[in-house]
Amino acid sequence: MARLRAANDERRSAPPVFLAPAGSFHGKLIGTVQFTHNPGYRTPFSALAAQVRFVPLDEPEALERTVEEERRTLLDLAVGDGVVRVVERDLPVVGAFVLEPIQGEAGIRPLDPEAVRRIQAVCARIDCPIIVDEVQSGMGRSGAFFASSHLGLQGDYFTLAKSLGGGVAKAGLTLVRSSRYRRDFELVHSSTFAKDSFSTLIAGRTVDLLEADGGRAYRLAEERGARLTELLDGLRQEFGDVVKDVRGRGLMLGVEFHDQSDSPSEIIREQAAAGLLGYLFSGYLLRVHDVRAFPTASATGTLRIEPSIHLTDEEIAQTVSALRALAATLRKHDGETLLHGHA
Ligand SMILES: Cc1ncc(COP(=O)(O)O)c(C=O)c1O
């Protein structure tokens, strides 16, 4: 009995493991940096926080395999037919599955609905909560308040931030499904900045504005995004040798460029090898065309296009013509103009 208890104590004391899709980005705070796949951000802090396993969602078996590999049991005694036997009982060890409905920093990659269905099924089976990080994709940017609603994704926890503060306050929040909510949590885990009334008031007002006029803001994000996507798709067809893909939803769009590490231009080659291609492009777009775009942090060959819902037809035309000029310059391998060009 003592040996059984000691074995169980050891099994129970091992830390929980968390799961996240490969490529995930969940910020750089100490509690979340281990959920950010990019080793450049994660590795220096790997000893300090949660253990995370990254699941390649393009491999249908990967999630089941990972859950099986992490399976832990406790020993118990069962009596039957007058015999006492040692049996194993499952010990829940997966703390949560954390995901972004549209992976932002991985290059604006909407999750595959089939992968989402698998995640929901496996998580329901092992009673693993799903944390939906809507910090970048939420607040209407995708054409719906939650990007996860396009996928029919049922989360247990949702995170929001960025425009939640209406451009005035710094605000972030976590929504908890009532069946998972523990009243004690907010009493015990209070914080200096938590429940800040000023940002809460602004966040409430921001949500009112999004919901106003039957959700006009969402319709604008959808409509402006569709217009922009149509033109960007045209650009991809025209410059297929340079533009690899156009992805996203609503006004959360990404334009991925082909790898340039064998470009005849030394400037372009060097920037590509250093993972700085997207920075070279965004510098050119700002200096020469007055268009602000930025590469995604963990996939720097993709430019993110995440404008305001008040984007005008003229601004869409300006954006697309700037990207056309960029693609034409790249096609000519004109690194000099990309690095030093001015309007
Ligand atoms: C998906 C996602 N989650 C979380 C964050 C927050 O990151 P941090 O906590 O480092 O501000 C970001 C920031 O861009 C994000 O894109």
Q: Which CATH class is domain 216-340?
A: alpha beta
- pLDDT mean over 250-273: 97
CB neighbour list of residue 114: distance below 8 Å, 6 or more residues apart: 60
Residue (of 86, 174, 106, 169) closest to 138 by Cα position? 174
The pLDDT, as a whole number, for residue 14 is: 86
CA of 103 relative to ligand 1 center, distance in Å: 11
pLDDT of residue 243: 98
Between CA 262 and CA 23 the distance in angstroms is 25
Of the two residues 283 and 13, the one the predictor is more confident about is 283
Q: What is the pLDDT of residue 190?
A: 87
For 47-50, the CB contacts below 8 A with 24+ separation are: 50/15, 50/16, 50/18, 50/95
Whether the CB of 26 sits within 6 Å of ligand 1: yes
Q: Decide whether any atom of ligand 1 lies within 6 Å of the 136 Cβ.
A: yes
Per-residue pLDDT reduced to its tens digit, 209-237: 999 999 999 999 999 999 999 999 999 99
Instruction: Confirm if 249 and 150 have CB atoms less than 8 A apart.
Output: yes
Which residue's alpha carbon is nearest to atom 6 within ligand 1?
Answer: 27
From CA 332, how far away is CA 343, in angstroms rounded? 18
If you ran DSSP here, which 8-state letter would residue 112 be given? P
Q: Write the pLDDT tens digit of every residue in 59-92.
A: 999 999 999 999 999 999 999 888 999 999 999 9
pLDDT above 90 for 294: yes
Find out whether the beta carbon of 141 lies less than 6 Å from any atom of ligand 1: no
Average pLDDT over residues 166-189: 93
Query: Ligand 1: which residue has its CA nearest to atom 7?
Result: 27
User: For strand 130-133 and strand 94-99, is the pairing parallel, antiparallel, or unpaired?
Assistant: parallel
Fold annotation for 2-203: Aspartate Aminotransferase; domain 2 (3.40.640)
Q: Where are the domains of the chain?
A: 2-203, 216-340
pLDDT for the residue 120: 97
Query: Is the CB of residue 109 less than 8 Å from the CB of residue 89?
Result: no
Is residue 257 in contact with ligand 1, taking CB distance under 6 Å? no
CA distances from 19 to 25, 65, 119, 128, 239 (A): 13, 12, 10, 10, 38
Instruction: Identify residue 230 by its one-letter amino acid code.
Output: E
What is the separation of C-alpha 47 from the centre of its chain, rounded to a whole number of angstroms?
23
Tell me how far apart the alpha carbons of residues 320 and 314 are, in angstroms, rounded to a whole number: 10
CA of 342 to the centre of ligand 1 (A): 33
Residue nearest to atom 5 of ligand 1 (CA): 27
Mean pLDDT in the chain?
95
Q: How far is CA 32 from CA 51, 54, 140, 162, 226, in A?
A: 10, 14, 24, 16, 33
Residue in 99, 219, 104, 214 with CA at minimum distance from that of residue 162: 104
The verdict on the CB of residue 284 being under 6 Å from ligand 1 is: no
Check if the beta carbon of residue 278 is closer than 8 Å to that of residue 244: no
Residue 234: both structure tokens together: 């045209």
330, 339 Cβ separation under 8 angstroms? no
For range 141-167, the mean pLDDT: 97
Q: What is the pTM of this model?
A: 0.94
Ligand 1 pocket, residue 104 CB under 6 Å: yes
Per-residue pLDDT, 245: 98
First vs last C-alpha separation in the chain: 80
Beta-bridged to residue 89, according to DSSP, are: 74
* pLDDT at residue number 1: 80
